Structure 1
Amino acid sequence: MIANERLVNYIRSLEPDRSALLDKVRKEALAAEVPIIRDETAALLKCFVTMLRPKRILEIGTAVGYSALTMASVMDEDSEIITIENYEPRVTEATKNISGSIYRDRIHLINDDAGKVIKSFAESGRQFDFIFMDAAKGQYINWLPDILSMMPRGAVLFSDNILQEGSIINSRYQVERRDRTIHTRMREYLFELKHNECLETAILTDGDGISVSVKR
């Protein structure tokens, strides 16, 4: 059940003030209508990074760097984030935001196609303790085999925006034609997360839906 607006605002009022940089990045992104993680998603990300203390984080979908900076704000000093983005205007903005932060030496931005980078990492045997998926939703299911190969036992896959504003529960024929491919692939992705014997997965309704999967 989605919380009503008054309850959401009350929960937000409990949050401590963000750093000046995070607040600036968030406000500029919202003003420019750049999609960034919602406040409740940011809170969950920070909880997981604080709890798991991952040393190697992979983020797929940098946007303007807000989520990477959010995770960096609570990760250990010897941890690093590799984040991937290939939309040039956002790469430029993310580079500016990251380079202007105290975490610039621990966040490494790759400007390239996510599928290409993921494939390269998987083939070279790269391993990550925590993977945050927040990119092209229709590609999640295609990337999953390589993602799983990069996750050692106990690693976590955190996927955002999986409920597609609630339309995920509808028949594909109730979804606009232009959205049907993404709708079908996201349903396939969620089915695989819940039925893959290598994963233990919980699906949460926070924000626009989050899945949290742990590699067995």
Structure 2
Amino acid sequence: MDYEVLSRYIASFVPEDDESIERIEKEARERGIPIMQRESMAFLQQLIRWLQPKRILEIGTAVGFSAIKMHLSNREPLIYTIERDEAMYQEACENVKNLKLEEAIYPILGDAGELISEIKNNGPFDLIFIDAAKVQYQKFFDLYSPLLADGGTIVSDNILFHGLVIDPDNLENRRAKRLGRKMNQFNQWLSKQHEYSTVFLTLGDGLALSTKKRDKDFKD
């Protein structure tokens, strides 16, 4: 069975947004801006409805699509979202402003690897969403996981990276080989983080959900 066909079949059941959000998504996809796949986004929204997080940190804003969708899933969480590309950041700010969500979504311009001291003042976070430079996933996880509330969850997107994590050493393209290796290393590393209960999902381009164990969950 063709996995991409199945993925499109599942995505066909995702309800449509209002016109302004549909426009943001459509334009982003047409321009090749990496935004979350529809079925993955729908799952993340449902996860937020289940978990009811009050504060969310997103690493990788792009044009603000996922931050907007996360907030609108239940209109509760405050979302702090980091973007290092200034043009993307400006566009995200405009999209947030146009939807009148300035008091709920706070885009931050800068390199997530250098903003920990600024971001920690807004924590702790009930949910952290990592969807930025793939070679930096482990760094971001290590850097920001101390800001996760007890029992909170870290969601890592694109963990399958278009299938490149499977036998990356046999890829001919050097960049693809490097990225495939890096994401595979991250997945292997994440599976060994015993402070977290992690489940790996093949939904979309792959998601990892890592829930921080509470003190009572640890056993000798």
Do these two structures clear the TM 0.5 threshold for a shared fold by scoring above it?
Answer: yes
Q: Which runs of 5+ in 2 are unaligned?
A: 214-220
Alignment counterpart, residue 136 of structure 2, candidates 132, 135, 139: 139
Alignment counterpart, residue 151 of structure 2, candidates 154, 170, 178: 154
1:88 and 2:86 aligned: yes
Instruction: Tell me the CA shift for residue 195 of structure 1.
Output: 0.9
Match of 1:31 in 2: 30
In structure 1, what residue type is equivalent to 2:100?
A: I
Determine helix, strand or coil for the equivalent of 1:154. Answer: strand
Instruction: Tell me the CA shift for residue 162 of structure 1.
Output: 1.0
Deviates more, 1:165-174 or 1:103-112: 165-174
Aligned-partner Cα distance in 2 for 1:96–1:43: 23
In structure 2, what residue type is equivalent to 1:80?
A: L
Q: Among the aligned pairs, what percent are the same residue?
A: 35
Does the 8 Å CA contact 1:131/1:158 hold for their aligned counterparts? yes
Alignment counterpart, residue 100 of structure 1, candidates 98, 101, 105: 98
Match of 1:117 in 2: 115
Determine helix, strand or coil for the equivalent of 2:185. Answer: helix
Deviates more, 1:88-97 or 1:182-191: 182-191
Instruction: Tell me the CA shift for residue 170 of structure 1.
Output: 0.7
Does the 8 Å CA contact 2:135/2:182 hold for their aligned counterparts? yes
TM-score between both structures, scaled by the size of structure 1 = 0.90
- After superposition, what is the alpha-carbon deviation per residue over 1:152-188, rounded to whole angstroms, capped at 9, x for unaligned? 2211111111111111011424352223443333222
Does the 8 Å CA contact 2:168/2:180 hold for their aligned counterparts? no
Determine helix, strand or coil for the equivalent of 1:34. Answer: coil
Distance 1:215 1:166, change over 3 A: same
Does the 8 Å CA contact 1:54/1:75 hold for their aligned counterparts? no
- After superposition, what is the alpha-carbon deviation per residue over 1:81-113, rounded to whole angstroms, capped at 9, x for unaligned? 000001122112111111111322100000111
1:164 and 2:161 aligned: yes
Match of 2:196 in 1: 199
In structure 2, what residue type is equivalent to 1:129?
A: D
Does the 8 Å CA contact 2:7/2:204 hold for their aligned counterparts? no
In structure 2, what residue type is equivalent to 1:90?
A: M
Alignment counterpart, residue 179 of structure 1, candidates 139, 155, 176: 176
Instruction: Tell me the CA shift for residue 131 of structure 1.
Output: 0.6
Aligned-partner Cα distance in 2 for 1:15–1:36: 16
Aligned-partner Cα distance in 2 for 1:2–1:162: 19
Match of 1:3 in 2: 3
Match of 2:216 in 1: none
Aligned-pair Cα RMSD in Å: 2.0
Match of 1:19 in 2: 18
Q: Which runs of 5+ in 1 are unaligned?
A: none
Stretches (4+) displaced over 4 A: none
Does the 8 Å CA contact 2:162/2:205 hold for their aligned counterparts? yes
Aligned-partner Cα distance in 2 for 1:65–1:89: 12
Aligned-partner Cα distance in 1 for 2:147–2:186: 17
TM-score between both structures, scaled by the size of structure 2 = 0.89
Does the 8 Å CA contact 1:125/1:150 hold for their aligned counterparts? no
Aligned-partner Cα distance in 2 for 1:10–1:181: 31
Q: How many residues align?
A: 213
Instruction: Tell me the CA shift for residue 114 of structure 1.
Output: 1.2
